[in-house]
Chains A and B, each alone.
Chain A
């Protein structure tokens, strides 16, 4: 007895919902974690630095 249609449907209708909610929550928490803010603002600004050479 392998993985049949009903198993897949059952899995996606039960577990599917929760893991997608969990993933969304994880992303939101990561993005809005207060101590990450400085890090992100810095990341957005660093690309604008006026240089065009690799760092060695």
Chain B
């Protein structure tokens, strides 16, 4: 790894890590017994070994000039492995949380394992750990191919990747210690937020610098989606996290906003996190890996442009649909509802574009589980965006809000769309990056597909049932005009659905474990025949059930 860095980059890496270690030391000194101090020690514990790692490789020969005639894929490889580690961890925690709702004793009487702390561990691990790493890894891969230009340098992608994972680690360990801003998907405290801004700006600069050096005149649409993801997430993150810490030695901070402004800012952030983190970036993935895997161009390039601008204009306004029937002014609620409904047009344009691209190649979808991952993801994208628009209608929201229907909706999107398109893209890109003919086992890809799909369906159906039952029970009145059911009654009614949900989650988790094993074995297994010419290293989609040759076969 260090051998791919130039001498100047190795020195710069040591300087950056040294500065970070000093910041860690300052945090440890100022924070003392505060969680901030613990995070200071964590930073030191990570940076010091990395300094030694760089020093150990300092005198290895410098990379040759020929590197410039190849793409720089090492950060993408590391990002994909990191994404898989995070997803296995995040899904495990998620399923644990789900079983806690069935058997509350599963907290084991510890503070760190209570529902309120490990739920954000789950959401951060899967959204930011898994999703974010997969986005960084694939975006750098797509960016280089579609621009036909190598990344501008070797150090900055590593800075982004390592820095981003440090952010995720600080976030997750913080929750376990009780550190939280209590803002959904924006739980990390001020020091982690500042660090993420630095990392994110470097990420965006990599994008701009590579595009500035592009040899392909047209900027392919996937890059637009990826850039919208990076740029808008930066804006959202900065605005929603404007806060004043109690002191520089204290993890706790207070938001600039309060009351209904705070709620509106948070859900402007929250829904755009869904829009630009969980949608725009993954659409970038879809618009590249789906045509590549299917071996045919996107059905309508024009439609992809229209849906890009549609999503970018309209998503910005929909956050207020999270605050129906609150102190938020009525017209702001109506605005959010209206834009949510209009959003169906660009969303379905993208979903339809993906499915129409496959029209005429259905035999490939049948034979190739990787392509099927992407196709089912597009179907779930269409379903979830329809459901989202529907739930944003105020009277529908009166039934669905605060119930498990919302959880079902989020997971239809997160499991059915985000995770499936990511697994499909990862299965497409792993043989490509590691120069293998195909994945280690096509059957295991197939197994993962069915585990993931059945897990998602069980999960989503359980939550639809549970959510609607909850919603109806909470609004049922008896003859005397009082509520017919207590909250506890609705809790008892949900119990079977919670078991079903946790079972669906378990299947999805097992699928990810299978995927992790398959990817690991693909990397470990030596390529059947050394590919001498990099021109021919775009993998041909292998049909399921024809695994790559094993050693000794």
User: What is the CB-to-nearest-CB distance from B196 to chain A, in angstroms, rounded to a whole number?
Assistant: 29
Are A47's CB and B292's CB within 8 A? yes
Bound Cα distance from A30 to B310, whole angstroms: 13
Q: Looking at the complex, which one of A9, A24, A40 makes contact with B302 (CB distance below 8 Å)? A: A40
Q: Looking at the complex, which one of B68, B303, B305, B309 makes contact with A56 (CB distance below 8 Å)? A: B68
Are B306's CB and A27's CB within 8 A? yes
User: What is the CB-to-nearest-CB distance from B544 to chain A, in angstroms, rounded to a whole number?
Assistant: 23
The stretch of B145-153, B157-165, B275-283, B372-380 in contact with A is B145-153
Are A55's CB and B215's CB within 8 A? yes
The answer to whether A53 and B69 touch (CB under 8 A), given A31-B306, A48-B297, is yes
Q: Looking at the complex, which one of A12, A31, A47, A54 makes contact with B220 (CB distance below 8 Å)? A: A47
Bound Cα distance from A54 to B152, whole angstroms: 12
Are B297's CB and A45's CB within 8 A? yes
Bound Cα distance from A42 to B216, whole angstroms: 11
* B243 CB contacts on chain A under 8 angstroms: none
Encode A17-30 as 1/0 by CB contact (under 8 A) with B: 00010011001101
Are B538's CB and A54's CB within 8 A? no
Q: Which of B50-80 contact A (CB under 8 A)?
A: 68-71
Q: Does B130 reach chain A (CB closer than 8 Å)? A: no
B213, closest chain A residue (CB): A54
The answer to whether A27 and B150 touch (CB under 8 A), given A9-B331, A50-B538, is no
Q: Does A51 reach chain B (CB closer than 8 Å)? A: yes
The answer to whether A27 and B68 touch (CB under 8 A), given A43-B220, A54-B215, is no
Q: Does A15 reach chain B (CB closer than 8 Å)? A: no
Give the total of B residues in contact with A, Cβ under 8 Å. 38
* A1 CB contacts on chain B under 8 angstroms: none
Q: Does B221 reach chain A (CB closer than 8 Å)? A: yes
Q: Does B195 reach chain A (CB closer than 8 Å)? A: no
Bound Cα distance from A9 to B536, whole angstroms: 58
Encode B325-338 as 1/0 by CB contact (under 8 A) with A: 00000010001000
* B534 CB contacts on chain A under 8 angstroms: 52-53
* A39 CB contacts on chain B under 8 angstroms: 218
Q: Does B193 reach chain A (CB closer than 8 Å)? A: no
Chain A, interface size category, equals: 20 to 34
Are B218's CB and A46's CB within 8 A? yes
Are A31's CB and B313's CB within 8 A? no
Q: Does B144 reach chain A (CB closer than 8 Å)? A: yes
User: What is the CB-to-nearest-CB distance from B226 to chain A, in angstroms, rounded to a whole number?
Assistant: 14
Q: Does A4 reach chain B (CB closer than 8 Å)? A: no
B305, closest chain A residue (CB): A31
Are A52's CB and B301's CB within 8 A? no
The answer to whether A48 and B306 touch (CB under 8 A), given A43-B221, A54-B70, A54-B149, is no
* B537 CB contacts on chain A under 8 angstroms: 52
* A48 CB contacts on chain B under 8 angstroms: 291-292, 295-297
User: What is the CB-to-nearest-CB distance from B431 to chain A, in angstroms, rounded to a whole number?
Assistant: 12
Are A53's CB and B144's CB within 8 A? no
Q: Does B524 reach chain A (CB closer than 8 Å)? A: no
Bound Cα distance from A27 to B215, whole angstroms: 25
User: What is the CB-to-nearest-CB distance from B343 to chain A, in angstroms, rounded to a whole number?
Assistant: 13
Interface residues of B (CB under 8 A from A): 68-71, 144-146, 148-150, 215-216, 218, 220-221, 288, 291-292, 295-298, 301-303, 305-306, 309-310, 313, 331, 335, 432, 534-538
Interface residues of A (CB under 8 A from B): 9, 12, 20, 23-24, 27-28, 30-32, 37, 39-48, 50-56
> Given contacts A23-B309, A48-B291, could you give 18 more A-B pairs where the C-beta distance is less than 8 Å?
A23-B313, A24-B310, A37-B302, A39-B218, A41-B297, A43-B220, A44-B297, A44-B298, A45-B297, A48-B292, A48-B296, A50-B536, A50-B538, A51-B535, A53-B71, A54-B71, A54-B215, A56-B69
